[in-house]
Amino acid sequence: MYCGSTWIRKLTMKQCDICKTNNPLCKQEFEKWLAMMRPWESVHIDFAGPFYNSMWLICVDAYSQFPFVCQLTNSATSDTIAALSSIFAIEELPETIVSNNGPQLTVKKFAIFCKSHGIKHVTTALFHLASNGLAERFVRTFKTGMLKNIDGGLTIKNALVKYLSTYRFTPNTWGKIPAELLHGRKVRTLLSQVRQFHQPYDSKNNSNAQFQPNQSVFFRSYSRGEKWLKGTISRPLGKLLYIVKTDAGYVKRHSNQLRAYNGTNQSNEAIETDAIPILFAPKATNDQPPSIMQHQPQKLCEQQQQEQQDFRNTYRKRN
């Protein structure tokens, strides 16, 4: 029986075997993978290529979407295992690997590799690429980004480095950077350095500094001429390092190479002398005048010499 009308087709769709086998596929239904609770718990792998005479192994973390890309001469099982081992040596062994049913991933050798490392290998349904959508989407963006970088004049190696550095440090739709999600710390990038450079100076961060901005100081000069010159603190680089503004430009000096300027008319020689400790002799007491103290060591030496001479004479007489 031909189910021509729409309402009859809807009623008999579940019972009519002829309609089931001849009608096109219904609207596809998808179910998201379980949300990962921590980084590197589950990774998705896939192959891109042949692309520029190479096979490219794609490995993406399901939690942070942090990618690894390995260039291979072929997609043999041994090369795949070696590439995954190098990635796992950098991060750690994941709990689950999700892949398609490629011949290099369904052989016994790969199953032994996963079992010996305590990894659960999950394969998707045949000819259903959407089940491994995370890796599949990255394959498309990987090829597009590589083509743009190579057309820009970069080599294949430099194009890969530029693409990975851009992808790993670009915030996703939730405003999270993959590198931060994977490693659990703030990452230092060119953009973060630009933001840090334009931040205004915060005096609270250097409240313990010995010298403050716009403070007049004497700084140690290592060129010919005077050893101590006058300058002004431009900004501190920390608690002990400062940028000093001078008549000839800017210099960097440690706090040990700086002296506070109090506004008095002191010469450079006086500044240099103050930096050298001076040892004073003890004052003479009233019981013993200075003249006697000065001659006392000489009298002691003469007395010792006389005693030694008397001892020699006595020894000669006995012999």
The tens digit of pLDDT for each residue in 56-89 reads 999 999 889 899 999 999 889 999 999 999 999 9
- Listed in sequence order, the residues at least 6 apart from 241 whose beta carbon sits closer than 8 Å to its beta carbon are 252, 253, 254, 255
- Listed in sequence order, the residues at least 6 apart from 206 whose beta carbon sits closer than 8 Å to its beta carbon are 212, 236, 238, 239
Q: Are residues 262 and 179 in the same domain?
A: no
Q: Mean of the pLDDT values across residues 243-256?
A: 91
Residue 74 falls within a domain, yes or no? yes
- Listed in sequence order, the residues at least 6 apart from 218 whose beta carbon sits closer than 8 Å to its beta carbon are 228, 229, 230, 231, 258, 259, 260, 261, 271
In tens, the pLDDT along 159-214 reads 999 999 999 998 887 788 999 999 988 888 887 787 665 555 555 555 566 888 99
Residue 302 falls within a domain, yes or no? no
Residue 175 falls within a domain, yes or no? yes
Number of H helices, E strands in the chain: 10, 10
Q: Are residues 159 and 89 in the same domain?
A: yes
**Which range marks the domain in which residue 235 is found?**
208-274
Do 182 and 199 touch, CB atoms closer than 8 A? no
Whole-angstrom distance, CA of residue 219 vs CA of residue 231? 7
The number of folded domains in the chain is 2
Do 55 and 72 touch, CB atoms closer than 8 A? yes
In terms of DSSP H, where are the helices of the chain? 6-12, 17-22, 77-90, 108-116, 133-151, 156-168, 178-183, 190-197, 268-274, 290-318
Of 274, 291, 306, the last residue of a domain is: 274
Residue 13 falls within a domain, yes or no? no
Q: Are residues 163 and 91 in the same domain?
A: yes
Of 234, 252, 274, the last residue of a domain is: 274
Beta pairing partners, 59: 45, 68
Of 274, 295, 310, the last residue of a domain is: 274
Residue 173 falls within a domain, yes or no? yes
CATH label of the domain that carries residue 54:
3.30.420.10
Q: Are residues 179 and 54 in the same domain?
A: yes
Mean pLDDT, the chain, integer = 76
Query: In this prediction, what percent of the chain has a pLDDT beyond 90?
Result: 38
Q: Mean of the pLDDT values across residues 271-297?
A: 43
CATH label of the domain that carries residue 223:
2.30.30.140
Residue 187's nearest CA partner among 94, 66, 91 is: 66
Residue 162 falls within a domain, yes or no? yes
Tell me which of 28 and 174 has the higher pLDDT: 174
Residue 26 falls within a domain, yes or no? no
